[in-house]
Amino acid sequence: MTSPITSRRRPVRAATAFLVTTAAVTTLLAASPAATASATGTASPTAPAEATAPAAAAATAPTVSETFDGPGLPAGWTAAEGTWRVENGRLIGTSTSSSQLSRITFGTPLTDFRIEARLRFESAVDAARWTAFGLDLAPSGVVPWSIATLRNNATASNGLEFAQRTTANAWNVTNTAPSPVQVGTGKEVRVAVEVRGTRGVWYVDGREALRTTQVQRTPQGVQALLVNGSTVSFDDLTVTPLARESFVRKPGETLRIWAHRGASSAVPENTAASDEVARRAGAEWIENDVQPSKDGVPVILHDTTVDRTTDGSGAVRNLTAAQLAGLDAGSWFAPAFVGQRIPTLASQLEGLKTRGGNLLLEVKGSHTKAQVERIVAEIRAKGMSSRVFVQSFEPQHLVWMRELAPELPLGLLRSTLDADPVAIAKDLGLSAYNPSETAFRTKPGIVAGLHAAGVAVNVWTVDNATSWKFLEEADVDGIITNRPAELAGWNAAFKQRPAATVLSPAPGAKLDRAQTVTIAVDAADGQEITFDGKPVANGQTIALAYETAGRHVIKVGGVESSFEVIATRTGLAHLILTSEAPAHAVATMTSMLGSGRYDALATYAATPATRGIAADQRRLIIAEAKALRDR
């Protein structure tokens, strides 16, 4: 994309600087397998296609759904190591020391899925002990593995992790973060991980807590549970295949980071080094531009000529792939980048495949259908269809893409808004509508209609926190930015905000049956509010006359607040006066209440004299009288 670098009620978040030293750059370049990839690598336009996804997918049923109500381990569950048993409706895994790792495998190989459960640490050797979801493990237990771990001390800096057990049987911890809520021995918590290819997202009590692009995958990997140095119990475990991905941001999620030409503010754009820095900066998606060389090889370059970003000159499409491969694409940016090359699409895909990351691929300039078909062939030959998102300014390119590769999500780039963005999105089968910031500011209200149609909005190219704040509050889904590290830091600050606050009823309040409460929360729009597990609306009133005595729980955004319904003389008087008992019975019961004869009141309420009282109300009157008696 060519654009000038531009620079709901939420606080401004601080940006985090990202510095690349010469030594660090040298290390990155040496580590990147795609940095010196040959420009002549090609893929046959007739390469076999990967299995394609339908244009839309319905919600899918779980492949695993266990409540552990049977007498033993569920069928197909294999306790590969340690002690595993079912007891009192829970699966219990035990590891007796920090050096022991208990493991049980189950499920089937899945590319995109959500695994979730309720779990509780029953005991632990120390606060650093952990349990984990196995995201990709061979049923036999041979390495490599990919897991998502949760420590007993979940709010430690490494309370949550994504980690790999490598083919050398060593640990590689790729991502860490503190949990948004403490766990600890004896506290049950709802946890989940969503996996899409090599991407993973950790959720604790419904709150997103950590992301990765480095879930190591194998063809036969299944799911598992692991326990280290502790005893952990599990219940309500499900594994659910995920339908085709929506790029619309969920309530509470951070802005999606699309790294424009890689980390192009810190490293020469559209190079292997730029991809590497963007990946390490936390960008899930790396945007690159593709166009054909003179001999038809798709290469990664933005401009129509090589003059600005290499030591050569001339139009890209007048130079062969071999000629392009000989140009220096890094020295123009800084001496540390001498020797960077113009990647082919094939080499760029290979780098992402082996090192992690996903590609937002812009089909740049004019292309024929045959040239678009060549791009599709390259993507499929590398097995990367599940990790590529295609965008273009040209609707015709997207029409061909949809015809040739219906599995690829599509985005339409715009410098000015269409008269009806929803209509064109539906016509082209878009997953995203991607306007410039300038265009978006002319009509930010387009978001609601596009979201209603299931279409995301990603704005380009935005590099400052003031604009990020405006766009986040406008409910856009992602930012295409030259500064992915800074946006990652801004997002991290965003996640530290309180998820929600329960304003009413006051936490710990003790209320009686004569009272009515109003559920009031301060939370982001769209966050679910529950009262004793059932959804309620913000501002909904609830009469307490017939609620059960004792503790009641309100939850929103991972925050829990509770109050109690207790027996009082006022509450019991309310029950009596609002009953359908005959007038003389009401008078008798209020007289007994006034004189403190609770036993007599409970006995009288059960007699035929109080006919007309509904059975549930009668039980409450008797229970309240006995509770007052026993005080």
Ordered DSSP codes for 503-567 = EESPTT-EE-TT-EEE-EEEE-TT--EEETTEEE-TT-EEE-TTSPSEEEEEEETTEEEEEEE--
Q: At what angle do helices 569-577 and 615-629 cross, to 10 degrees?
A: 160
Q: Which two tokens stand for residue 451?
A: 């979201």
User: Residues 34, 1, 14, CA angle at the centre, nearest 5°?
Assistant: 85
Beta-sheet pairing, 160-165 with 171-177? antiparallel
Given the residues 260, 367, 397, 552, the one annotated as active site = 260
Q: Distances from the Cα of 278 to the Cαs of 261, 264, 291, 509, in angstroms?
A: 9, 8, 21, 49
- CA separation for the pair 67, 69 (Å, rounded): 6
Do 410 and 391 meet the contact criterion of CB atoms below 8 Å apart?
Answer: yes
Q: Which two tokens stand for residue 437?
A: 């910031």
- Looking at CATH, the fold of the domain delimited by 64-241 is given as Jelly Rolls (2.60.120)
302 is catalytic: yes
Q: At what angle do helices 272-281 and 484-495 cross, to 10 degrees?
A: 10
Residue 607, number of CB atoms within 10 A of its CB = 10
CATH number of 22-53+255-304+345-495: 3.20.20.190
Average pLDDT of adjacent 10-residue blocks, the chain of 631 residues: 35 34 38 36 36 41 95 92 94 94 95 96 96 95 93 96 94 94 93 93 91 88 97 97 91 90 97 94 94 98 98 98 98 96 97 88 97 98 93 98 96 98 98 98 97 97 96 95 96 74 88 92 78 91 91 84 92 92 94 94 93 90 93 81
Q: CA torsion sign, 66 to 68 to 73 to 75? A: negative
Quick one: CA torsion of 180, 185, 190, 196, rounded to 10 degrees? 70
Quick one: CA torsion of 176, 182, 188, 190, rounded to 10 degrees? -50
State the Rg of the chain over Cα. Answer: 30
pTM for the model stands at 0.67
Beta bridge pairs of residue 199: 196
What are the helix (H) ranges across 35-102?
none
Do 342 and 41 meet the contact criterion of CB atoms below 8 Å apart?
Answer: no
Given the residues 302, 367, 397, 451, the one annotated as active site = 302
For the chain, give the longest Cα–Cα distance.
Answer: 104
Q: Which two tokens stand for residue 121?
A: 């640490």
70 burial (CB, 10 Å; 0-12 / 13-18 / 19+) is exposed
Beta-sheet pairing, 432-435 with 456-459? parallel
User: Residues 135, 138, 144, CA angle at the centre, nearest 5°?
Assistant: 75
Residue 613, number of CB atoms within 10 A of its CB = 22
Q: What are phi and psi of 437, to 5 degrees?
A: -60, -45
| 528 Rama sector, left if φ>0, alpha if ψ -120 to 50, beta otherwise | beta
Q: Where are the domains of the chain?
A: 22-53+255-304+345-495, 64-241, 500-565, 569-629
451 is catalytic: no
| Three-state DSSP state, 603 | helix
- CA separation for the pair 614, 623 (Å, rounded): 14
- Position 225 scores a pLDDT of 98
What are the helix (H) ranges across 308-381?
321-325, 345-355, 369-381
Q: What is the Cα 336 distance to its own chain's centre? A: 36
- Position 428 scores a pLDDT of 98
Q: Which two tokens stand for residue 304?
A: 């129509």
| Three-state DSSP state, 138 | coil
| Residue in 267, 348, 252 with CA at minimum distance from that of residue 300 | 348
